[in-house]
Chain A
Amino acid sequence: QSALTQPASVSGSPGQSITISCTGTSSDVGGYNYVSWYQQHPGKAPKLMIYDVSNRPSGVSNRFSGSKSGNTASLTISGLQAEDEADYYCSSYGNNNTLLYVFGTGTKVTVL
């Protein structure tokens, strides 16, 4: 199972909005509404930001939103803040004759 495809880097100025894409196949992203997004700061464990395509866990800012169209999911960060600078990974449930998770290649978000 190949990794989901994300842009290597995305940048924006404080207050702006940015969107990170995550492209998979009909066996993962396109086939199920089980896309999650994780934020990871250097040297730290990942943190769940979005689950089931567009749901936010308790405590996650509403500046983070998720969506999906076909085989591509997206994470949008609005009102970009300095603390949003981190790596972001998408993940999807998949079924390729065996149940699995597949992660994206990761996107480095830089706040200019």
Chain B
Amino acid sequence: QVQLVQSGGEAKKPGASVKVSCKASGYRFTSYGISWVRQAPGQGLEWMGWISAYNGHTNYALRLQGRVIMTRDTSTTTAYMELTRLRSDDTAVYYCSRERGGFGDGLDVWGQGTTVTVSS
């Protein structure tokens, strides 16, 4: 079946970096984009950015530009999200999700989420 499986939870100190993986299966990986969305404790959803699995093109949320890097490996059908210079307010559950069609067309498959905790 179509699924996205994310890497396990991470505990990081302020200033460090974290890299979360998202393994896709059950569909043609390069035919769909991947968006990353995060959710701070008790808060709403925040879109972080998008990567084309086909050519690696990216769009990042303005407030994260310069700190977020999204990549993909077509040989392993895995997408990655790296967040640098971590701050305490980066503590959140991070989700990868598949674009249903073109960019903006809805996110129809979601990973299980990865909890990232930033604390000194």
Contact = CB atoms under 8 A, between A and B. Distances in A.
Given A34-B105, A46-B97, A98-B59, 4 more contacts: A32-B104, A99-B50, A101-B47, A103-B45
Contact of A48 (B46, B47, B108): B108
Contacts of B106: 34, 36, 48, 50-52, 57, 91
Interface of A: 1, 3, 32, 34, 36, 38, 40, 45-48, 50-52, 57, 89, 91-93, 98-106
Contacts of A106: 44-45
Tell me the interface secondary structure of chain A in the complex.
Answer: strand
19 contacts: A1-B61, A34-B106, A38-B45, A40-B45, A45-B110, A46-B95, A48-B108, A50-B106, A57-B106, A91-B45, A91-B107, A93-B105, A99-B104, A100-B61, A100-B62, A103-B37, A103-B45, A103-B46, A106-B44
A104 B46 CA distance: 9
B100 interface: yes
A103 B95 CA distance: 14
Contacts of B46: 103
Interface in B92-117: 95, 97, 100, 103-108, 110-113
Chain B contact-residue range equals 20 to 34
A89 B44 contact: yes
Interface string B20-64: 000000000000000101000000111100100000000101100
Contacts of B111: 45
Given A45-B113, A48-B100, A104-B44, A36 B59 contact: no
A105 B74 CA distance: 34
